[in-house]
């Protein structure tokens, strides 16, 4: 299947090389003796939505976490290969992890607002990067909440605890928080897994909207969602990238039998 990967990558490369935001080269990730990610090669294009699909435990979340170095804190893990963000390897020693994570935002599976007020949740990302100008912070918080489609719902209770919001609102607050630092890439780890259909629909609309500002990479096991919002789709199985291609081809003409089985719900 490595051949299939290479073919896919070549196709995209031929299209346009400047449009590539993240390039993953020969990425291997070990956790203890367990080979979690096996020789991953793929591209993410600028201002596109990519979905990584796969059954539980296939390594898709771990893969996402290698893109902003959240795996740094996992003890006993080892990573080889390269992740190039705008052509620079994020694992090289000169890269500042703090700046990398400002540039690569992340939204988690379950909404995880901090035990602070709604305002402080969004302002946190600005404050930890040393921004003290109150007016700037207020404007940016309002802007981000508006982007996340949450401002009208919370404008009267900005200084109430974030836990007073519903699950869907909390997740949108987390999105507002993630974009407050003005990242160019957004990583989303099953952002709608714990939400009801209405809240899910709102988030998916947001994601489709966000494409114009950010490169978005979503991990999901929901095939319908992936088909609806993503430009590119990838399929992980047992730590290997089985297939990665344009969503249209991916869902209608999968090249690999295993991908076909997965998207027709035979797993």
Which tokens in the block code for residue 59? 């390594």
Q: What's the min distance (Å) between Cβ of 100 and another protein? A: 8
Residues 182 and 151 sit within 8 Å (Cβ to Cβ): no
Size of the site for another protein (CB under 8 A): 32
CA 202, 205, 207, 212 dihedral sign is negative
Rank residues 170 and 233 by Cβ distance to another protein and give the closer one: 170
Binding segment toward another protein, per CB under 8 A, in 39-47, 55-63, 124-132, 225-233: 124-132
Find all residues with CB under 8 Å of 175, minimum gap 6, and list them. 107, 148, 186, 191, 203, 206
Find all residues with CB under 8 Å of 243, minimum gap 6, and list them. 1, 4, 5, 8, 234, 235, 250, 254, 255, 256, 259
Establish how many alpha carbons lie within 13 A of residue 210's alpha carbon, considering only the half-sphere containing its beta carbon. 33
Residues 41 and 28 sit within 8 Å (Cβ to Cβ): no
Going residue by residue from 149 to 168, which x/- string records binding to another protein, judged by CB under 8 A? ----------x-x-------
Rank residues 132 and 253 by Cβ distance to another protein and give the closer one: 132
Q: What's the min distance (Å) between Cβ of 151 and another protein? A: 20
Q: What's the min distance (Å) between Cβ of 230 and another protein? A: 22
Residues 27 and 239 sit within 8 Å (Cβ to Cβ): no
Rank residues 66 and 181 by Cβ distance to another protein and give the closer one: 181
Rank residues 128 and 257 by Cβ distance to another protein and give the closer one: 128
> Site for another protein (CB under 8 A): which residue of 5, 62, 66, 68?
68
**Type and span of the H or E element at 246:** strand 240-246
Instruction: Answer yes or no whether residue 77 interacts with another protein by CB under 8 A.
Output: no
Q: What's the min distance (Å) between Cβ of 187 and another protein? A: 8
Q: Which residue in this structure is represented by tokens 């990067």?
A: 129
3-state secondary structure of 176: helix
Binding segment toward another protein, per CB under 8 A, in 46-54, 84-92, 106-114, 239-247: 106-114
Residues 160 and 189 sit within 8 Å (Cβ to Cβ): no
> Site for another protein (CB under 8 A): which residue of 8, 169, 181, 247?
181
Query: Using CB under 8 A, which residues numbered 129 to 148 contact another protein?
Result: 129
CB count within 10 Å of CB 87 equals 9
Which residues are at the interface with another protein (CB under 8 A)? 68, 70, 73, 75, 97-102, 105-106, 108, 110, 112-117, 120, 124-125, 127-129, 159, 161, 174, 177-178, 181
């Amino acid at each position: 299947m490595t051949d299939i990967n290479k073919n896919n990558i070549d196709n995209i490369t031929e299209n346009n090389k400047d449009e590539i935001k993240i390039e993953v080269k020969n990425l291997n990730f070990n956790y203890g003796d367990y080979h979690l990610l096996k020789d991953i090669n793929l591209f993410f294009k600028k201002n596109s939505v990519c979905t990584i699909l796969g059954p539980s435990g296939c390594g898709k979340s771990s893969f996402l976490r290698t893109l902003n170095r959240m795996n740094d804190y996992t003890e006993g893990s080892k990573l080889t290969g390269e992740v190039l963000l705008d052509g620079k390897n994020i694992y090289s020693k000169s890269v500042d992890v703090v700046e990398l994570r400002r540039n690569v935002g992340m939204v988690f599976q379950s909404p995880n607002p901090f035990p602070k007020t709604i305002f402080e949740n969004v302002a946190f990302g600005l404050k930890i990067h040393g921004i003290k100008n109150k007016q700037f912070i207020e404007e940016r918080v309002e802007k981000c909440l508006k982007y996340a489609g949450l401002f009208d719902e919370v404008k009267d209770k900005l200084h109430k605890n974030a836990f007073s919001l519903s699950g869907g609102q909390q997740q949108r607050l987390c999105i507002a928080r993630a974009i407050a630092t003005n990242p160019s890439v957004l990583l989303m780890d099953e952002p709608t897994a714990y939400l009801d259909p209405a809240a899910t629909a709102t988030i998916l609309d947001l994601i489709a909207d966000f494409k114009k500002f950010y490169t978005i990479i979503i991990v999901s096991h929901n095939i319908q969602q992936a088909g609806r919002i993503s430009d590119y789709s990838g399929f992980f199985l047992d730590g290997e990238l089985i297939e990665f291609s344009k969503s249209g081809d991916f869902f209608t003409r999968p090249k690999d039998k295993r991908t076909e089985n997965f998207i027709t719900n035979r797993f």
